[in-house]
């Protein structure tokens, strides 16, 4: 199935998402409960038990604040990712915006299909061609210009089926979980296969995670004096793929320490969960928690796992019981999905 190849390319370089103005967070449904949108049950209990142990100086599982590192995947973990990583929709719109400067795109795949709105057909171009197009959609501008382009796009772009702004499609229970970890002196990072510069535009406003705590895939960058102004230009080559085996590497290079908590939702997060939770030997007694968000809610969001092109969850789901990872059933474990009232 050729589309599978494209999806894995997309997965590799832009499995990300989108926002602009701060998402208004819903008030917790129970006043005193910081995890008010989580229904009582084993998933919620495991998270609360883990955090309670980590912060209790009397507990064997106490972890000093400096070591309370938590990492979250973004697409499908902090916000939705269907029918397509939101950053891919950004890239397609960007290609359309750039098209007047590139008349050759009208007759060259995969650009031609994008310009004609035939995104199904895009997938039939070769992997390398699609990759190059995605890079072209992100390169050739300064860091500041790219910020503004993403910001402008987030203002106006709407999800094709829900009609919501993309920043409204973040998961209310995960916003609460980030806040809960912050209030317990965790340092929370995003570790996403998506583009680092794309995510940083909205991570602070939407997730309360500052840009320097975002790890992601990246293209190259070059310093340049442009008419006397020093700028960093984004260049058209792939620099780092922060997915699968790349996630522990990205964590190593950016954070420099092993997390004690990691949350993901797909096989792209498998190695991050392994790296975070598998003990190193008898001396490794630090408590560790892995969380997998399982998309089971076709009514309020989407239901998919092993056969999905986007956000495929297969090997990690098989490995979860053995590793003790918490599998969150979106339908049963969450009383609310998005900050705004669910349909």
How many angstroms separate the CA atoms of 268 and 167, rounded? Answer: 22
- The tokens describing 73, both together, are 């995947």
Site string for a second copy, 269-308 (x = CB under 8 A): --x--xx--x-xx---------------------------
Cα pseudo-dihedral 167, 293, 196, 178, rounded to 10: 70
Contact (CB, 8 A) for 110 and 122: yes
Our CB check for a second copy shows the closer of 90 and 302 to be: 90
- Site size toward a second copy (CB under 8 A) is 43
Closest separation between CB of residue 194 and a second copy, Å? 14
Interface residues for a second copy in 178-197 (CB under 8 A)? 187, 189, 196-197
Long-range contacts of 301-307 (CB under 8 A, 24+ apart): 301/80, 301/82, 301/330, 301/337, 302/80, 302/82, 303/331, 304/82
- Does 64 contact a second copy by CB under 8 A? no
Residues 266, 73 contacting (CB under 8 angstroms): yes
Residue ranges in 199-218 that form contacts with a second copy under rule CB under 8 A: 200, 204, 210-214, 218
248 touching a second copy, by CB under 8 A: yes
List the beta bridge partners of residue 217. Answer: 195
Residue 97 or 278 with smaller CB distance to a second copy? 278
End-to-end CA distance of the chain: 34
- Which residue stretch of 29-37, 107-115, 117-125, 245-253 sits at the interface with a second copy (rule: CB under 8 A)? 245-253
What are the residues binding a second copy (CB under 8 A)? 66, 143-144, 187, 189, 196-197, 200, 204, 210-214, 218, 221-223, 225, 228-230, 232, 239, 245-249, 251-258, 271, 274-275, 278, 280-281
């Amino acid at each position: 199935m050729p589309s599978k190849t494209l999806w894995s390319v997309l997965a590799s370089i832009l499995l990300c998402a989108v926002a602009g103005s701060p998402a208004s967070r819903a008030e917790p449904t129970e006043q005193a409960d910081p995890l008010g949108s989580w229904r009582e049950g084993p998933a919620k209990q495991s998270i609360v038990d883990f955090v309670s142990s980590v912060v209790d100086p009397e507990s064997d599982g106490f972890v000093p604040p400096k070591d309370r590192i938590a990492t979250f995947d973004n697409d499908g973990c902090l916000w939705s990712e269907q029918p397509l990583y939101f950053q891919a929709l950004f890239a397609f719109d960007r290609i359309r915006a750039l098209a007047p400067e590139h008349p050759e795109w009208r007759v060259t795949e995969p650009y031609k299909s994008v310009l004609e709105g035939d995104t199904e057909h895009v997938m039939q171009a070769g992997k390398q061609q699609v990759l190059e197009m995605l890079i072209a959609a992100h390169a050739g501008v300064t860091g500041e210009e790219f910020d503004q382009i993403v910001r402008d796009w987030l203002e106006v772009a709407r999800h094709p089926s829900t009609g919501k702004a993309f920043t409204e499609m973040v998961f209310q229970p995960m916003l609460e979980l980030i806040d809960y970890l912050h209030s317990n002196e965790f340092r929370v990072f995003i570790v996403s296969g998506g583009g680092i510069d794309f995510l940083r535009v909205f991570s602070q406003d939407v997730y309360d995670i500052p840009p320097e705590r975002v790890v992601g895939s990246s293209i190259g960058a070059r310093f340049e004096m442009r008419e006397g102004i020093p700028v960093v230009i984004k260049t058209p080559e792939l620099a780092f793929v922060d997915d699968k085996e790349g996630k522990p590497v990205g964590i190593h290079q950016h954070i420099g320490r092993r997390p004690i908590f990691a949350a993901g939702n797909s096989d792209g997060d498998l190695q991050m969960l392994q790296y975070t939770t598998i003990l190193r030997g008898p001396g490794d007694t630090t408590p560790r928690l892995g969380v997998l968000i399982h998309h089971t809610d076709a009514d309020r969001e989407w239901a998919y796992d092993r056969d999905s092109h986007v956000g495929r969850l297969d090997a990690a789901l098989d490995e979860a019981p053995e590793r003790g990872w918490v599998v969150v059933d979106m339908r049963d474990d969450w009383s609310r999905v998005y900050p705004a009232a669910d349909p």
